[in-house]
Amino acid sequence: MDLTDTDVTGKPASRARRPAKIEPGVPTSAPSALPPVTSSPLATPTLTAGVASVTHLTEKLSEYMTAADLKKVKEAYRFSDEMHLGQVRKSGEPYISHPIAVAEICADWKLDAQAIMAALLHDVMEDQDVKKDELIERFGAPVANLVDGLSKLEKIEFQSQIEAQAENFRKMLLAMASDVRVILIKLADRLHNMRTLDVMTPAKKRRIASETMEVYVPIAHRLGLNNIYRELQEISFSHLYPLRYHVLAKAVKAARGNRREVVKKILESVKNTLAMAEIEAEVYGREKTLYGIYKKMRSKHLSFSQVLDVYGFRVVVDSFPNCYVALGTLHSLYKPMPGKFKDYIAIRKLNGYQSLHTTLIGPYGTPVEFQIRTQEMHRTAESGVAAHWLYKTGDINLSDMQQRTHAWLQSLLDIQQQTGDSAEFLEHVKVDLFPDSVYVFTPKSKIIALPRGATPIDFAYAIHTGIGDHTVSVTINGEPSTLRSELRNGDIVEIVTDASSRPSPSWLSFVRTGKARSAIRHHLRTINLPESIALGRQLLSQALASVSIDPDLPEPLAERLLNESSAKSMDELYADIGIGKRMAALVARHIFGLLGGESAAAPVDHNSAAELDPVTICGSEGVSVQLAQCCLPIPGDAIIGQLRRDQGLLVHTSDCSVAKRQRQKEPDRWIAVKWGADINRRFDSRIKLLINNEKGILARVAAEIGESDGNITFVGMDEDKEHVLHQLRFTIQVKDRVHLAGLLRNVRRVAGVNRILRERS
């Protein structure tokens, strides 16, 4: 049964021919010949670039679809062919060849009829202005929702290309969260576009390849679609660095002949050894991708010959126990390298991947890497979430991998609810698209997978947002640790919470996961919103005064400003300024341009902070204004303010070395600040004493601090048994600089104190 009664370039019978449209996207000619990547018989088939065949698609679908489903797909094909009639790709081929090719890739995964129909229709809303209601009427709501999730937001006007791209990704990822078929079809669409990228201009090739490497490659890896992950990576590499790619391709081709004898010897030895142990297994060599070689050379500073001297083999056995039996058999054949064994079967990777990895010393002293897995594990390794397709059966019991995937997709919805705009949403999602993970345990032995470099705060938010929001301390492997400690594989982490505790802006400087980052920012926006609005209004008023504009903006001007800044209200705009997301000086310059100033893009004077009225610091502003821990400013100190993105205003002393370094990097984020006249609170300050190691000295110093109206919050001693003098450190609370100076004079008179000073950054 064929999908159509006419050829793909034939004219439709029922609808008027649409005007021809040259597709600016991608051509259909194949890229430069890629070096073959050795694949197993179980690997997901891939589509050869070129004009797709309707007959070939029909044959694939007939293998697993019913006649009724095929009939629905046929209707979708005819509609798509009719809509795209007259539209051609840049290579000159009929545009319908692209939807057919995307559908063929989806058919390789044996996706259901709804997904295949959506693949055939995925461009009709974007290119031909077909309404969603029409798709619902003709093909049903599920298909229409899939197509809608795949369509770009062409109708909305955006401030920039970056903002438009971020909003498109946001829509696609949220649609994916409700139905993972959206991203599978999108990956198939991107794969065919990448296979047919050659006719584009070099600049556009690089842009599309960079976007693919940055977003689609990690998504494919996160979903366990390793075949697509490797192919997208390889093609992107060929367009981003064409010279490096061709040099490596030539070198690999030349080296294959020299390696053939060693590979043959290892294969024969391994097969014979496994046969003697009565283990049924398929054994074949794994050839590194060019990007894999390039990445390893760059990251480990290795030469080409050093990378290629490592041989890789895959052993696919018939049962789970035989994975470990085969491992022992191989270890008896060749000696294992210490520290080079990883058990991803007992603790699988975040994307569901399972295998035993071991590196042995083979013949001639060459390292040999083995991956040992079952056929089921291999299918999962190659096709990921598509290996156990959720929609092709009525089974409601999800596999472990599907549960992990759906948990990640659900986290996208959580991030969406806590995120202010599309660019930030995409930023958080990118953080979670990581290839490496660490695996840590809860006190009840539940495994939590986190990105490398994650902290206890990331762990707390991975368990539940409520736990993260109320975290106060942590113990790692039974020992108290700091909240910014880097977690390592196998750590047992226990979080201590307090109902009165709240997230700190400083957490944003060390958390790694998108969920933790978005939850902290959400808290800072909502709980402290009045403080952020007040600070933002003050900052904008001062910035407007610098360009001689009345801070009380007329209503028409305010509405125009909101429309052009994508803010919903002036309070939202003020809050964005107060938390450092927008720069008050830049907003003021924009208003200056709206009023018909000399230049809407007037240059920003990075030193203008000194010319504006300083922001007054009273010490009671809440978390929208923070005192820097590096220098701990107190009233009386000369101070300066740093506007940090989504963290509000950070106040440093003017002579702080940390502030000086950061001001050189981002001079436009610094503003003038001053202390208020009536400050009724105490401030932390650090002091350091050089003392004689004698009886009662600590008590005498502490008593003098108390008599000087100081409050001790921390005390520590640097002990050195080889010296008579010791260093004593205090964190004390004082009213201001005058109070601190008096306290230092009093403590200096204590017997046994040789020297005392205020400790700076």
CATH number assigned to the domain comprising residue 437: 3.10.20.30
Q: Are strands 447-451 and 615-617 parallel, antiparallel or unpaired?
A: unpaired
Q: What is the mean pLDDT of residues 114-134?
A: 86
Mean pLDDT of the chain: 76
CA distance 715 to 728: 7
The residue count of the chain comes to 761
CA distance 697 to 750: 9
What tens digit of pLDDT does each residue of 163-194 get?
555 556 665 566 555 677 888 888 899 999 89
Is 126 considered catalytic here? yes
What tens digit of pLDDT does each residue of 40-53 get?
333 333 333 444 56
pLDDT exceeds 70 at position 399: no
Q: Please tell me the predicted confidence (pLDDT) of residue 38.
A: 36
CA distance 420 to 341: 44
Kindly state whether residues 218 and 167 are assigned to the same domain. Answer: yes
Q: How many domains does the chain have?
A: 5
pLDDT exceeds 70 at position 316: yes
Choice among 112, 127, 231, 424 that is catalytic: 127
Kindly state whether residues 668 and 619 are assigned to the same domain. Answer: yes
User: Is residue 10 assigned to a domain?
Assistant: no
Instruction: Output helix, strand, coil percentages for the chain, rounded to the nearest 5.
Output: 50, 15, 35
User: Is residue 752 assigned to a domain?
Assistant: yes
User: Is residue 394 assigned to a domain?
Assistant: no
Most confident range (mean pLDDT) of 200-204, 521-525, 564-568, 620-624 is 200-204
Cross-strand bridge partners of residue 687: 730, 758
Residue 523 or 107, more confident:
107
Q: Please tell me the predicted confidence (pLDDT) of residue 456.
A: 93
Kindly state whether residues 332 and 353 are assigned to the same domain. Answer: yes
Last residue of a domain, one of 499, 525, 551: 525
3 state SS for 602-666: CCCCCCHHHCCCCEEECCCCHHHEEECCCCCCCCCCCEEEEEECCCEEEEEECCCHHHHHHHHHC
What tens digit of pLDDT does each residue of 449-488 get?
787 788 999 999 988 888 998 999 999 988 888 898 889 8
E strand or H helix at 414, and its extent?
helix 400-418
Kindly state whether residues 78 and 183 are assigned to the same domain. Answer: yes
Q: Please tell me the predicted confidence (pLDDT) of residue 647.
A: 59
CATH number assigned to the domain comprising residue 695: 3.30.70.260
Cβ atoms of 723 and 691 within 8 Å: the answer is: no
Q: What is the mean pLDDT of residues 124-135?
A: 82
What tens digit of pLDDT does each residue of 130-173 get?
888 888 888 998 898 888 877 753 433 334 455 555 556 665 56
User: Is residue 7 assigned to a domain?
Assistant: no
Choice among 69, 75, 108, 126 that is catalytic: 126
3 state SS for 273-311: HHHHCCCCEEEEEECCCHHHHHHHHHHHCCCHHHHHCCE
Kindly state whether residues 96 and 230 are assigned to the same domain. Answer: yes
Q: Where are the beta strands (DSSP E) in 44-186?
A: 87-88
Last residue of a domain, one of 240, 271, 295: 240
Kindly state whether residues 130 and 262 are assigned to the same domain. Answer: no
Q: Please tell me the predicted confidence (pLDDT) of residue 423.
A: 54
Sheet holding 711-718, edge to edge: 711-718, 725-734, 683-692, 753-758
Last residue of a domain, one of 215, 240, 265: 240
User: Is residue 723 assigned to a domain?
Assistant: yes
Residue 750 or 567, more confident:
750
Residue 34 CA, chain-centre distance (Å), reads: 28
Percent of the chain at pLDDT > 90 equals 15
Q: Where are the beta strands (DSSP E) in 421-519?
A: 437-441, 447-451, 471-476, 479-481, 493-497
Kindly state whether residues 358 and 250 are assigned to the same domain. Answer: yes
Token pair recorded at residue 390: 């959720």
Kindly state whether residues 71 and 201 are assigned to the same domain. Answer: yes
Kindly state whether residues 315 and 410 are assigned to the same domain. Answer: no
Kindly state whether residues 130 and 233 are assigned to the same domain. Answer: yes
Q: Which domain holds residue 190?
A: 21-240
Q: What is the mean pLDDT of residues 427-454?
A: 70
User: Is residue 14 assigned to a domain?
Assistant: no
CA distance 29 to 23: 14
E strand or H helix at 358, and its extent?
strand 356-361
Residue 123 or 760, more confident:
123
Task: List, as one string, the DSSP characters of 206-256.
Answer: HHHHHHIIIIIHHHHHHTT-HHHHHHHHHHHHHHHSHHHHHHHHHHHHHHH
Token pair recorded at residue 479: 């020992």
User: Is residue 6 assigned to a domain?
Assistant: no
Torsion of CA 514, 515, 518, 524, to 10 degrees: -130
Greatest alpha-carbon pair distance for the chain in Å reads: 105
Of the pLDDT bands very low, low, confident and very high (cuts 50, 70, 90), residue 124 is: confident
Q: Please tell me the predicted confidence (pLDDT) of residue 429.
A: 56
Half-sphere CA count of 624, side-chain side, radius 13 A: 28
Cross-strand bridge partners of residue 726: 691
| 372 φ/ψ sector (left φ>0, alpha ψ -120 to 50, else beta) | beta
Task: List, as one string, the DSSP characters of 80-110.
Answer: HHHHTTTEE-TTSSBTTHHHHHHHHHHHHTT
Most confident range (mean pLDDT) of 218-222, 334-338, 545-549 is 334-338
pLDDT exceeds 90 at position 740: yes
Kindly state whether residues 67 and 215 are assigned to the same domain. Answer: yes
Token pair recorded at residue 211: 């976007």
Q: What is the mean pLDDT of residues 359-364?
A: 84
Is 282 considered catalytic here? no
Cβ atoms of 611 and 585 within 8 Å: the answer is: no
CATH number assigned to the domain comprising residue 132: 1.10.3210.10
Kindly state whether residues 35 and 171 are assigned to the same domain. Answer: yes
Residue 660 CA, chain-centre distance (Å), reads: 30
Buried/exposed 521-546: b ≥16 CB within 10 Å, e otherwise: bbbbbeebbebbbbbbbbbbbbbbeb
Q: What is the mean pLDDT of residues 567-574?
A: 82
User: Is residue 614 assigned to a domain?
Assistant: yes
